[in-house]
Homo-oligomer: A and B are copies of this chain.
Amino acid sequence: MRRIGMLTSGGDCQALNAAMRGVGKTLLKSGEQVEIYGFLNGYRGLIRSEFKMLSHSDFSGILTQGGTMLGTSRTPFKTIREPDEDGNDKVECMKHTYYKLMLDCLVILGGNGTHKTANLLREEGLNVITLPKTIDNDLWGTDMTFGFQSAVDIATECIDCIHTTASSHGRIFIVEVMGHKVGYLTLNAGMAGGADIILIPEIPYDIDKIVEKIKERERYGSTFTILAVAEGAISKERAAMSKKELKDAMKNYKYPSVSYEIADKLAKETGHEVRVTVPGHTQRGGSPCAYDRVFASRLGAEAGRLILEEKYGFMVGYKNREIVQVPLEEVAGKLKSVDPDAAIIKEAKMLGICFGD
C-alpha cells in the first residue's frame, strides 16, 4: 500500500486539476494499492491535517476545469518559521501530519514560494515531488510551467478586444498584464496581441522613448497605440535606485499601479486620451487551454511514475522538449526571467516593437 499526499499551494492557475488528474490516474491505474490524501487549501491543510480521500471518480471530469479542487492558499511561505495561530511550529505540524498518516510521498503543485517550502520539507526528511505551476513561467529549472499558455491566451484576447476599441477611437490604451518580477506573460501576450510597446520588469523603460515611439507612429499615420505593461514594469530611474531609495521614492505613490502612472505621463506628453485596462485575476482563471491540458497531464503522469519508482526530491520539469527530473535544491529560491538579449526580444524589435529601452 502506498499513501500519497497531494496539495496545491500559492495563487491558483489553470491546469492544476489536469495535473492532479495525471498523477491520480497514473497511480490508480498502476495496479498497485494506492491511497491518495488531498490536503485542503495548500500547506494549511497539511499543517492542520485537513484532507479528503481522493478516488477514481474525483479525478474524472476535471481535465477541463480551472482552479483547484483542493483549494489553495498562500500559507505559509514567508511565515514558514513563525508559529501558526495556535502557537504551533508549522513545519513540525506538517511533519506530524505526514508521519501520522504514514505517507510515502507528498505531491506538491506550486510556484516559487511553494517550492521553497517544498524543498524545506525535503530537507526535513519528507519525500517530496513537485509540479511547476505558475502563469508567470518564472520557475528555474523548467522551460515551461502550466498555466502560462492559458494566461497568455486570456491576456491576448483582452488585447484583441482593446485593439478594436483603440483603432476606432484613435486612443492610447494600456493593458496591464500580470507579472511583478518577470515579463514572459506580458511579452508573449503583447506579441500575440500586436502591442506596439511592451514594458517588462527585465527591461527598464525610458518614458521619453515611449513618447517618441507614439509620435513616430503618428507620423506614419497610426491613430492609436497599444501598450502591454507588466505589473512590475519599472523605469530606468527607479531600476537604478538602491532598495532604500526606491522605498523612499514610492512612499507617497499615488497610483494604483505603474500603468496608471505611465498613462498619466503619456496623456500629458502626447495630448491624447490614455485608457488603462486591468484584466487582473481573470488571467489565472477559466478552463485551461489545450496546450496546458496536455502539458500538465504529461507532467502529472511522470510524477506518478516517479512515485511508483520511489524517486523523490524532484520537480518534474521540461527541458528541450523533454520531461526531466530537476533536483528540488536546484529549483528552490531561484527565479527564471526574460533575458533582455534573448532572440525573442531581438525578433520583437525587428517587428518594430518598442521596449522603452
A: residues with CB less than 8 A from B are 8, 11-12, 14, 16, 21-22, 25-26, 29-30, 41, 56, 63-68, 71-73, 143, 149, 152-154, 156-158, 160-165, 167-170, 173, 188-189, 191-194, 220, 223, 256, 275-286, 289-291, 293-294, 297-298, 301-302, 304-305, 320-323, 343-344, 347-348, 350-352
By the criterion CB–CB under 8 Å, are B281 and A278 in contact?
A: no
A38 → B minimal CB distance (Å):
13
Cα of A124 to Cα of B56 in the assembled complex, Å = 43
| B156 adjacent to A290 (CB under 8 Å) | yes
Residues of B within 8 A of A67 (CB): 163-165, 167-168
In the bound complex, do residue A347 and residue B297 qualify as a contact, i.e. CB atoms below 8 Å apart?
yes
Q: CB distance B188 to A290 under 8 Å?
A: yes
Which of B161, B223, B301 meets A350, CB within 8 Å?
Answer: B301
CB contact between A351 and one of B22, B160, B169, B279 (< 8 Å): that residue: B22
Given A41-B170, A73-B169, A294-B192, also A286-B320 (CB < 8 A): no
Q: Binding site of A, secondary structure by majority: helix, strand, loop or mixed?
A: helix
Cβ contacts under 8 Å, A16 to chain B: 168
Q: Which one, B29, B160, B294, contacts A352 given CB within 8 A?
A: B29
6 example contacts (A-B, Cβ-Cβ < 8 A) are as follows: A29-B352, A56-B220, A188-B290, A189-B290, A256-B256, A301-B348
| Partner of A168 from B68, B256, B297, B304 at Cβ < 8 Å | B68
**Bound CA–CA A73/B143 (angstroms):** 37
How many identical chains are in the complex?
A: 4
Q: How far is the CB of A321 from chain B (nearest CB, A)?
A: 6
With contact pairs A71-B223, A72-B168 given, residues A64 and B277 touching in the complex (Cβ less than 8 Å): no
List B contacts of A63 (CB < 8 A). 192, 194
A277 and B277 in contact (CB under 8 A), knowing A149-B291, A168-B68, A301-B347? no
Verify A25–B191 contact, CB threshold 8 A: no
* Shortest distance between the CB of A345 and any CB in chain B (Å): 11
Contact B192 A161 (CB under 8 A): no
A221 CB to nearest B CB, Å = 8
CA A297 to CA B289, docked complex, whole Å: 21
Among A143, A149, A189, A290, the most chain B Cβ lie within 10 Å of the Cβ of: A290
The answer on a CB contact under 8 Å between B64 and A281 is: no
A351 contacts B25, C-beta separation under 8 Å: yes
User: How many angstroms from the CA of A26 to the CA of B164 in the assembled complex?
Assistant: 24
Are A71 and B281 closer than 8 Å at their CB atoms? no
**B-side contacts of A188, CB under 8 Å:** 290, 294
A167 to B16, CA, bound (A): 13
Residues A164 and B66 in contact in the complex (CB < 8 Å), given A223-B71, A297-B347, A347-B297: yes
Kindly state the separation between the CA atoms of A305 and B154 in the bound complex, as whole angstroms.
Answer: 30
Most chain B CB neighbours (cut-off 10 Å) among A8, A65, A153, A294:
A294
**A327 shortest CB reach to chain B, Å:** 20
